């Protein structure tokens, strides 16, 4: 059984949430640059949720970083148990303390709109 201290896991989660906040911020900037003159007003309010997503993720990252300082190393957590419901290999790899990969890097594959 491999395990990691609670503080390490919280720190990793803070990094991941901050990276997601950065992605949401880029999306928000992209929405701001779009010509929305032909868009139904009902859908415009949905686009504003991107800004809310960015702000919420930023705040969650702050909370997680503060928790790291509050709990210190904390108890060891079983990585198998933590990762049992995780679908993404990337997140399981991060739990195992592997080096993070930037999710917002421009070379992360071809864009597929669906």
46 within domain boundaries: yes
114 within domain boundaries: no
Contact 82, 96 (CB under 8 A): no
3-state secondary structure of 103: coil
What pTM was computed for the model?
A: 0.77
24 within domain boundaries: yes
Q: Tell me the per-residue pLDDT of 63-86, one tens digit each, with 9 for 90 and over.
A: 999 999 999 999 999 999 999 999
Q: What is the pLDDT of residue 113?
A: 55
Q: Which tokens hold the place of 69?
A: 């300082």
Q: How many Cα atoms occupy the beta-carbon half-sphere of 40 within 13 Å?
A: 3
Q: Tell me the per-residue pLDDT of 44-66, one tens digit each, with 9 for 90 and over.
A: 777 778 888 999 999 999 999 99
Q: Which range among 6-15, 21-30, 51-60, 100-109 shows the weakest confidence by mean pLDDT?
A: 100-109
Q: What are phi and psi of 29, to 5 degrees?
A: -65, -40
**109 pLDDT band (50/70/90 cuts)?**
low
Q: Which residue range forms the structural domain that includes residue 54?
A: 3-95
101 within domain boundaries: no
Quick check: 107 pLDDT over 60?
no
109 within domain boundaries: no
Percent share of the chain, pLDDT over 90: 50
Number of domains in the chain: 1
11 within domain boundaries: yes
**1 pLDDT band (50/70/90 cuts)?**
low
Beta-carbon contacts of 10 under 8 Å, excluding residues fewer than 6 positions away, are 64, 67, 68, 71, 74
108 within domain boundaries: no
110 within domain boundaries: no
């Amino acid at each position: 059984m491999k395990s990691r201290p609670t503080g390490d896991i919280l720190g990793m989660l803070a990094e991941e949430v901050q990276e997601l906040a950065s992605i949401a911020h880029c999306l928000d900037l992209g929405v701001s640059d779009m010509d929305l003159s032909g868009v139904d007003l009902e859908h415009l309010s949905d686009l504003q949720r991107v800004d809310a997503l960015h702000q919420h993720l930023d705040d969650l990252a702050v909370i997680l970083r503060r928790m790291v300082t509050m709990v210190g190393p904390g108890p060891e957590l079983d990585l198998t148990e933590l990762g049992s419901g995780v679908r993404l290999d990337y997140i399981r790899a991060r739990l195992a303390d592997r080096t993070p990969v930037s999710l917002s890097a421009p070379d992360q594959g071809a864009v597929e709109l669906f």
